[in-house]
Amino acid sequence: MPRIRTDGHPAGQCSSSGSVGSGPRVQGEVVILGVGAFGVTPRQNGSLRTLALGSCVALILHHRERAFAGMVHIALPDSAINPARAIELPGYFVNTGVEALMRAMAKFADDLPVGLTACLVGGANVLKAGSLFNIGEKNVAALRKELSRRRFTTLMEDVGGTISRSVQVDAATGCVLITSPGRESWEVRP
């Protein structure tokens, strides 16, 4: 499975008219997802956004031909540690979050994952507590394994390191805009 890691490409074409607070500019409606939430925007003028990804990872799926996107904000790799939470908030875990997102996206395309591009953002070690827990690393590894099992062929990543990230995907273009405090925004593109 090809992996593309981008490190700080300056923002450019993701930006357009219409503001989202004082941060990046996008056109159309922006849906903000919290920890454990997932969503799909079938609207060509819509975007999905999640904030403050430390060890959490955003999985972003985009269908270029049909111009729709989905995102899930994952906190932990496996729901076995808290099955009740997985029922209440399936996006919280890799194993239940990917399935919930795929089911939601299947309402707009019945041949998934054909045509989908996958992108992972986050998975940092922001606590700088050494390698004791490495939750971010475990989240990324679990997501890579799950996506491979589901036969995703295109995977873009901006993962690891020690910085917190916020991310937004534009449903029409698939452009992924990443921001981090004290840095210029950058893009990951299919």
Domain limits of the chain?
A: 3-188
Which residue carries 């985009």 as its tokens? 62
- Residue pair 154/97 in contact (Cβ under 8 Å)? The answer is no
Instruction: Kindly indicate the confidence band of residue 56, based on its pLDDT and cuts at 50, 70 and 90.
Output: very high
Alpha-carbon torsion 152, 2, 37, 138, what sign? positive
The CATH number of 3-188 is 3.30.1330.200
- Report, as an integer, the average pLDDT of 110-114: 76
Q: 3-class SS at 47? A: strand
Average pLDDT for 9-36 = 55
Q: How is residue 9 annotated by DSSP?
A: P
Structural contact between residues 46 and 30, judged by C-beta atoms closer than 8 angstroms: yes
Q: Which residue has the higher pLDDT, 2 or 112?
A: 112
Cis peptide before 113 (omega within 30 of 0): yes
